[in-house]
Structure 1
């Protein structure tokens, strides 16, 4: 006997963002490239930045279960943090690709975002985010970050 499909988002409500995150995503559909968009946080404090990001990404992914990040790029974060009435796991890894975060939903969907360093100038950050969110862009993270140098 097969189990019915779980619908983890039924009855679940993500708290709204306090501040709109600086985020650009590729359109829904067949994914191309190494990243699904770009995020430009205001600081390197993951715990302070991630609630607003998850509030927006939950529209696409449903309830968020996990955020993977490169340990050396963020202030030390706890392994779980409350988001609304749930807990989201934060997994810091040495081998996570540089300048990326991976956000996973309970239903198995995920997005990989290029993280634009917080100190990037606005013109450069805009160029990086536009390139990373272009539907057909398949550039590496390094090439996308270099796009900000040309702005």
Structure 2
């Protein structure tokens, strides 16, 4: 994506940090066209082939995607699709043939192209260390409610808070 472009072109749906970047929560961003993982993985695998080698595994949060298969053949290669219920609903982890794994913040397919373009640019910034929620919310993309609740609970909150003296 051009630095001076605020809107995301249709073909620019993946961005990665440069190799010598700060580590952080994510290695880049992905803006799929739908919530059908089996339809989206082939294009993602092609785009990531150079940076991480042939994709062989995609770990995803099942609550964020439609029903999917456990594996598919993508460009003559087997790709495992592994649903992990405890995974952040805003990311996918993609592992390539050279055992390099990238964590991508997933921009919802229905996101506005200007906001999506901004998230793609920010997530792939060399020194970006923002969490997925900050990246999405910071550019006006609504967060998944179930992730906000589970994150609050995992950080010490409780869903059944008792009132003091009650």
Structure 1 length as normaliser, TM-score?
Answer: 0.82
* Inter-partner Cα distance in structure 1 for 2:109 and 2:97: 28
Counterpart selection for 2:81 from 76, 82, 90: 90
**Runs (4+) off by over 6 Å:** none
Counterpart selection for 1:53 from 28, 44, 47: 44
Query: Where in structure 2 are the equivalents of 1:103-122 lying within 5 Å?
Result: 103-122=94-113
* Inter-partner Cα distance in structure 1 for 2:98 and 2:110: 34
Counterpart selection for 1:41 from 32, 51, 54: 32
Report the RMSD for the aligned CA atoms in angstroms. Answer: 1.6
* Inter-partner Cα distance in structure 1 for 2:56 and 2:47: 14
Kindly tell me: are residues 47 and 31 of structure 1, through their superposed partners in 2, closer, same or farther at Cα, counting changes over 3 Å? farther
Query: Where in structure 2 are the equivalents of 1:2-151 lying within 5 Å?
Result: 20=11, 22-149=13-140
* Inter-partner Cα distance in structure 2 for 1:50 and 1:37: 16
Cα offsets for 1:6-31 (capped at 9, x unmatched): xxxxxxxxxxxxx9461111112244
Gap runs ≥5 in structure 2? 1-9, 142-166
> Which of 1 and 2 has greater Rg?
2
Give the number of aligned pairs: 132
Gap runs ≥5 in structure 1? 1-18
